[in-house]
Structure 1
């Protein structure tokens, strides 16, 4: 059904968001009093620059009346806002209690509720969201003939095979529903999407019900004045996915697992769990488990509902990636696509299982060997205590017997997530020999200030540290330093940026060669 002023008002009333409709001197809650109330909107936007004839404009965030200068000449049909802008435009305005929630509901309606045509899977957690999303999409593509779409912090894919770089972990609601419509029109059956804590904090997924919600894990992150004031708030926002889902997949060993199960019980939804067990300790019982079958942890065995469904060897190294694989299996099962209760190890389940083996994600656990020295470089997005710990666990598990000399090249985001700065140092300082602190995405904070702050947290007298705020120079220096210690096996961990080709500074994306490309270029010299 086409979205009109009348149907928009009715939808907003249903959700107790509409205050009144204003057009000039007319203040009403009855859209019949507004001329053209039954005329379908031609478009919907939150950007005044894209307004054209028949557009509904959603005024969100720090919107200012001056943004509406000359807007009537573009053919604005109506607007939605928390404030009265009727003095700036002759178009009718829907005044609401919450513009972001209103925008999400209206966007879904404008695009014909595309979520109803898809099996929508939402994945949240402190770490592992992106890898789990890619694994899940690969499985679903394998069993559906390539009919799985993806929204991730790295790429968006609307046709099962074409990937375009994304801007946000979870898109703005209007963008999300527009892309969902494209995916549904492209014949997609599934949508796998990462759901950040901010998605619930700022209502990017308001009104969206997930067919399957996955809660991977939780640990402190994103704590700052502009994100979450406390860990409690961070966890609370992530938990909202459970109240807005039809089923839950969760890490059996996740912190606060009991609370998550209580949430699922309150929501009246079924729960499936996944876990990673080593070969000595079966650990917590789970519906899907992974455990290593060799000492090097290069191959793992998958068990679903107590049935051995096969062994896999992932292109992505690390125990944590096998845990992500277990999550993807549990999600695919909950979505009804494979590993069904009556035939867990069926041919279609085997197709799904082995579809994840070749999956690689740019900037995640990318390993490079220097032909001129005994040096291994690993490029990864690790950016907090949990992910740095997991990365170092992998290094020691795989290379500990070689007594590696480990250098960690890191920075931290500016103006937010201040807790990451000491936590990255705390996770690493007793397990490495050298820090190189350098530029990351600083926003308006000077690179050097963040680097010097992180350096101040180093308390281990046996760990050296260097500050080089130019990231390419820092990477080059770390490689030369490793080559100067050729008598040792060197491991350089370059974290935080992955394969990104920009560094954020003063609200702009400044072009950057990329950690991976710099390493490749240096190792080729």
Structure 2
């Protein structure tokens, strides 16, 4: 779709964002007062290093005027900003009330509104987003013969089968629409994407309406001065997905589900629910639309029903009963997207073999009675779910449990205490180590977490080098070979880098360290 200065100005006016257009000493609301107003932009970017002839530049975030030095020589056609930069460039500036909102709208237009060519599924929640996204993509891929794309915190997939490691849970709006364009051009019919609270906080999905929005669950997370100052703000940002959707899939057992139902009713959005049940739903009860119920006493399999129709028994490759709730969510999403689950058994069962690198990966040590589990758990809810799984599956063996953990720097400060609180009554020892930081020293985060331990006698060690921390946990388990040892290594999954001072420093990876040691 062609975007010009004139069409961009009209779009921003319609959304109440345009303040004025400035070029040198000329201020106007009519783009046609500016020469070349109907000339199409050749490119769009938010990185000044990518500016070339005919580029529209979006100046977002902490943009500095010095970034525009010599920009006219490289062919800047126009810029969008909430600040007047006419002293630095002769290019016209679309001055707006919110540069991030403007960037999202303009990016969608520049890439030809690819969302209109896809059935777009958005998934939010405190835990389970990634697993649900992968399950959903598997179901939609099977149904559409490989035409489902994916944006996740682990990988992006734009052709139904090729997975590339991602940088953000939800991409920047410009990147998201560019990748949507590529997915649509690749013949994709569906897009499944994780939607973080920050995506709404910083307008990464502004103007995007999801064909199916999914709200899995909610618990406190990401509470910090630079993310969400309060839980109310965190929940409010996540709730925005409801009003920006055509259909909602809701975890019936989610905290604040009644409020979310009110959001949906106010917006006229129909609701499909899912729920993990302790037993079979009583006849005549107000059961969820999609339910997962234990198929046997050991909970090694669940039967899933949709609108009362039995879809059969499911056995997932991913361990953990909580993953059956994610499976029920995935089928509820497919149901809300218009797929007849009872008529496509191959699609409904396509999620059974799904594995996600770095999520609930189990490794057995041939040299000792030791099990290591590598997982992305990183907050109170996910650590609790992981320990619930360990207790249910291995509690009768009275394992000696070691938790290798850290926490992110400069954000989500609440996680540091909550990880300790979730674990300290249920494990034998902590090893605190490096995770991703911005500018905070690893050692400061680790020692802070160590101070939150209140259980007398629990062992704790601080080892800031992560490979050394994982290695030491294994050596320690082997030194206690008279007991069954479980080592939980959380936070990084299969990531091959540690973020330090905003740079990705290469890192072997928790899973590979364990594989190497156990080999």
Contact 1:227 1:416 in 2 (8 A): yes
Give the Cα separation in 2 of the matches to 1:465 and 1:280: 43
Q: What's 1:411 paired with?
A: 406
Contact 1:23 1:86 in 2 (8 A): yes
Give the Cα separation in 1 of the matches to 2:518 and 2:34: 68
Residues 1:315 and 2:317 are matched in the alignment:
yes
Q: What's 1:179 paired with?
A: 179
Contact 1:338 1:352 in 2 (8 A): no
Q: What's 2:451 paired with?
A: 456
Contact 1:253 1:284 in 2 (8 A): no
SS at match of 1:265: helix
CA RMSD between the two structures: 1.1
SS at match of 1:217: coil
Q: What's 1:270 paired with?
A: 270
Gap runs ≥5 in structure 1: 340-344
Q: What's 1:388 paired with?
A: 383
Give the Cα separation in 1 of the matches to 2:251 and 2:199: 21
Q: What's 2:10 paired with?
A: 10
For 1:474-513, list aligned pairs within 5 A: 474-513=469-508
Q: What's 1:258 paired with?
A: 258
Give the Cα separation in 2 of the matches to 1:179 and 1:507: 24
Q: What's 1:336 paired with?
A: 338
Q: What's 2:302 paired with?
A: 300
SS at match of 2:210: coil
Query: Deviating runs (4+, > 4 A) in structure 1?
Result: 280-284
1:312 is displaced (CA, Å) by: 1.1
Contact 2:406 2:491 in 1 (8 A): yes
Contact 1:415 1:444 in 2 (8 A): yes
Q: What's 2:120 paired with?
A: 120
Give the Cα separation in 2 of the matches to 1:280 and 1:133: 26
Gap runs ≥5 in structure 2: none
SS at match of 2:240: helix
SS at match of 2:22: strand
SS at match of 2:174: helix
1:31 is displaced (CA, Å) by: 0.8
1:409 is displaced (CA, Å) by: 0.6
Q: What TM-score does the superposition give when structure 1 sets the normalisation length?
A: 0.97
Give the Cα separation in 2 of the matches to 1:280 and 1:188: 37
For 1:141-220, list aligned pairs within 5 A: 141-220=141-220
Give the Cα separation in 2 of the matches to 1:121 and 1:364: 22
Measured at CA, do residues 77 and 165 of structure 1 come closer, stay the same or move farther in structure 2, by a change above 3 Å?
Answer: same
The Cα offsets for residues 129-163 of structure 1, whole Å up to 9 and x where unpaired, read as 00000000000000101000000001111110111
1:468 is displaced (CA, Å) by: 1.0
Give the Cα separation in 2 of the matches to 1:327 and 1:305: 13
Give the Cα separation in 1 of the matches to 2:281 and 2:376: 29
1:284 is displaced (CA, Å) by: 7.2
Residues 1:430 and 2:422 are matched in the alignment:
no
Give the Cα separation in 2 of the matches to 1:511 and 1:276: 39
Q: What's 1:289 paired with?
A: 291
1:353 is displaced (CA, Å) by: 1.6
1:50 is displaced (CA, Å) by: 0.4
1:119 is displaced (CA, Å) by: 0.4
Q: What's 2:415 paired with?
A: 420
Give the Cα separation in 2 of the matches to 1:40 and 1:33: 16
Contact 2:281 2:287 in 1 (8 A): no
Give the Cα separation in 1 of the matches to 2:92 and 2:138: 46
For 1:223-234, list aligned pairs within 5 A: 223-234=223-234
SS at match of 2:287: coil
Give the Cα separation in 1 of the matches to 2:372 and 2:472: 13
Give the Cα separation in 1 of the matches to 2:115 and 2:280: 43
1:367 to 352, 359, 362: 362
Measured at CA, do residues 198 and 433 of structure 1 come closer, stay the same or move farther in structure 2, by a change above 3 Å?
Answer: same
Q: What's 1:468 paired with?
A: 463
For 1:58-97, list aligned pairs within 5 A: 58-97=58-97
1:355 to 350, 353, 373: 350
Give the Cα separation in 1 of the matches to 2:184 and 2:125: 26
Contact 2:280 2:293 in 1 (8 A): no
Q: What's 2:395 paired with?
A: 400
Give the Cα separation in 1 of the matches to 2:134 and 2:201: 24
1:297 is displaced (CA, Å) by: 1.7
SS at match of 2:311: strand
Give the Cα separation in 2 of the matches to 1:246 and 1:279: 32
1:93 is displaced (CA, Å) by: 0.7
Give the Cα separation in 1 of the matches to 2:79 and 2:50: 13
Q: What's 1:245 paired with?
A: 245
Give the Cα separation in 2 of the matches to 1:285 and 1:461: 44
Q: What TM-score does the superposition give when structure 2 sets the normalisation length?
A: 0.98
Q: What's 2:511 paired with?
A: 516
The Cα offsets for residues 407-466 of structure 1, whole Å up to 9 and x where unpaired, read as 111000011101001100110111111111111112211111111111111111142111
